[in-house]
Amino acid sequence: MPAAVPGPYYQSRGRGRAPSDFLLSLVDGDDLLPDLAIGRLPVAGVHEAGQVAAKVIGYDREPEPGSWQSRVLYLANWHEKGIFTAPSDSWRPGTPNRPG
């Protein structure tokens, strides 16, 4: 059976503790806005990890052409005070307009 790498626990407001890699994304400043995009790769061993990492790096170095490159979807939680609107709106000007 493969080894599992546990995630740190995060205390969410009103929902209790849950395992999440969110805390690992907080590297700059003392706010709760993530500074990194973090994800896990489900692999069963070192060899498979190398294959998956090479595939991810390949996608980054030589992306497949297509209209998907010019589409972005921003998502955020709904909040009664609308506190997520300003950060989401501020990201749009920095999104490159790439031809599909």
Average pLDDT over residues 18-27: 87
Model pLDDT for residues 41-89, shown as the tens digit of each residue: 888 889 999 999 999 999 889 888 888 777 777 666 667 776 767 777 7
* Angle in degrees, CA 26, 46, 38, rounded to 5: 15
Specify whether the CB–CB gap between 10 and 18 falls below 8 A: yes
How far CA 30 is from CA of 12, 34, 35, 60, in Å, comes to: 16, 10, 11, 30
DSSP, collapsed to helix, strand or coil, labels residue 9 as strand
Distance CA 43, CA 31 (A): 32
Residue 98 confidence (pLDDT) above 60:
no
